Structure 1
Amino acid sequence: MDETGGVIRLIPRKAKTLSTSFEQDLLALLPRLRRFAVGLCGNSADGDDLCQMSLERALANQTKWLEGTRLDSWMYRVMRNIWIDQVRAATRRRETFVHEDAGQSVGGDGAQEHTVELSMVDRAMQRLPEDQREAVLLVMVEGYAYKEAAEIVGCPVGTLNSRLVRGRDALLELLGEAE
C-alpha cells in the first residue's frame, strides 16, 4: 500500500529492445565494422576493443549523426579517429623488449595452407604505412568507391588513389607476387 492507502502495483519492465533505426542500422553494420577494426589493428582482440569503443562513442554521440547521411561512412570515420588516438598513445608509451616476430614461430605447423596464406597477408598488411593500409582496407576489402573512401579518410581522391596504388604494389612485393 502507498501512503494514501492505495495498492501499489508493480508493472514488469519489458526487455530493452532496439528502439531506433539508428541502433538497428548499427547492428547491421557490425560485421563490416569489426572487419575494418581488425584490419586496422592487426589482430582480432584489439579489433574487437576498437569496434566496441566505436559503438560506444557512436551511441553516446548519436545526435551528431545527420539523418539522411551514410551511417557506415560516419562510423568508419569515428573508428578511424579512435584508432589514430590509440596509435599515438601507444607510440608514446611503447617500450619493446622482444621483437614481435619472435613469437611467430612458436607452436605446431599443423595449420592449413589457407590459414598460413591469410596470416602472411595480415603480416604484410601490418607492414604497410598506415595511410596505405587504410586505403587498401577501405577500397579493396570493404569495397568503397575512391570518392567515398577519400571522404572517410579526409583527403582528396587523387591522394587516396596514390596511397592505394602504392599500398597495393607494396603488398604484392611483400607477398612475393610483384611482376
Structure 2
Amino acid sequence: MLRKQDVRGSMPRFDIIGQLGSLRRYARSLTRDSAEAEDLVHDALVRAYERRGTFRSGGNLRAWLLSIVHNAFIDGLRSRKSEAARVEQAGYLADASMQAPQEHSVRLAQLREAFFKLPDEQRSALHLVAIEGLTYSQAAEASGVPLGTLMSRIGRARAALREMEDKLPAHAKSHLRIVGGP
C-alpha cells in the first residue's frame, strides 16, 4: 500500500486495493486486452509509489491514480512502433464469466465493438464518466485535458455510438442505452 507522510510523521495508508477494480476496468478499456491492462495497472502503481510525494493531501486518490494509468498508457502508445500490433491484440471488455441471455450477449458484443471503434480520446473520456462514474472535472484532470475538451470528446463519442446504433437493423437493436452524462 502507498503511504504518505503526514504532519506528525506517521504514515497514513492510501486505499489502493479499493481502487484496483476501477484501475483495471479503465486500463482494459484503454488497452483492449486483459493481460496488457494488468501490465498497465502494474506500471501505473509503480509510478504512483515512486511519485507518492506528489499526491496532494485531501485530493481525490481515485482521480490521481486514474490519471497515472492514463499517462502510462499514453507513454506506452508513444513508444510503440506499430499501431497494427495493438489492434491485433484487441480483446475483451466484459469479463468472460458474465453470462447473459444469447440475445443480450450478441448485443453486448456489438456495443463493445462499437465502443472500441471510437477514437482513443473519445473512448477514454466516455469510459471515465460513464463507467467509472467520475465527474467531468475529475475525468478532465485524470486525462490531463481542459474540461471543455473532455466534454466535446464525450459528446462526439455518444453521437458516434448513436450513429452506429441507427445503422443496425431493427431486429438487432435492444433495450440497451448509453448511460452517464451531465
| TM-score (norm. length: structure 1) | 0.72
Give 2:132's match in structure 1, choosing from 142, 154, 164.
142
Alignment partner, residue 37 of structure 2: 47
- Whether 2:108 is the aligned partner of 1:121: answer no
Residues 122-155 of structure 1 deviation map (CA, whole Å, 9 limit, x = unaligned)? 2222211111111111111111111221122222
- The structure with more radius of gyration: 1
Task: Structure 1: give runs of 5+ residues left out of the alignment.
Answer: 1-15, 104-110
CA distance in 1, matches of 2:111, 2:141: 26
- Whether 2:131 is the aligned partner of 1:133: answer no
- Whether 2:75 is the aligned partner of 1:62: answer no
CA distance in 2, matches of 1:29, 1:83: 17
Alignment partner, residue 21 of structure 1: 13
The answer to whether the 8 Å contact 1:42/1:122 transfers is: no
> SS where residue 134 of structure 2 aligns?
coil
Alignment partner, residue 68 of structure 2: 78
Q: Offset of 1:36 from its aligned partner?
A: 0.7
Amino acid at match of 2:161: L
Residues 60-114 of structure 1 deviation map (CA, whole Å, 9 limit, x = unaligned)? 2222212211111111111011100111222x24566xx849x9xxxxxxx9343
Structure 1 pair 175–144 and aligned structure 2 pair: CA distance change class (3 A): same
Residues 6-57 of structure 1 deviation map (CA, whole Å, 9 limit, x = unaligned)? xxxxxxxxxx9x98412xx111111111111111111212111111111122
Task: Structure 2: give runs of 5+ residues left out of the alignment.
Answer: 4-10, 92-100, 169-182
Q: Offset of 1:119 from its aligned partner?
A: 2.6
Structure 1 pair 164–129 and aligned structure 2 pair: CA distance change class (3 A): same
| TM-score (norm. length: structure 2) | 0.71
Alignment partner, residue 162 of structure 2: 172
Q: Offset of 1:117 from its aligned partner?
A: 2.7
CA distance in 2, matches of 1:120, 1:46: 22
> SS where residue 16 of structure 2 aligns?
helix
Structure 1 pair 93–117 and aligned structure 2 pair: CA distance change class (3 A): same
- % same residue: 37
How many residue pairs get matched? 149
The answer to whether the 8 Å contact 2:123/2:157 transfers is: yes
Structure 1 pair 136–177 and aligned structure 2 pair: CA distance change class (3 A): farther
CA distance in 1, matches of 2:71, 2:131: 19
CA distance in 1, matches of 2:131, 2:61: 18
Structure 1 pair 147–31 and aligned structure 2 pair: CA distance change class (3 A): same
CA distance in 2, matches of 1:176, 1:46: 32
CA distance in 2, matches of 1:37, 1:81: 11
CA distance in 2, matches of 1:175, 1:165: 15
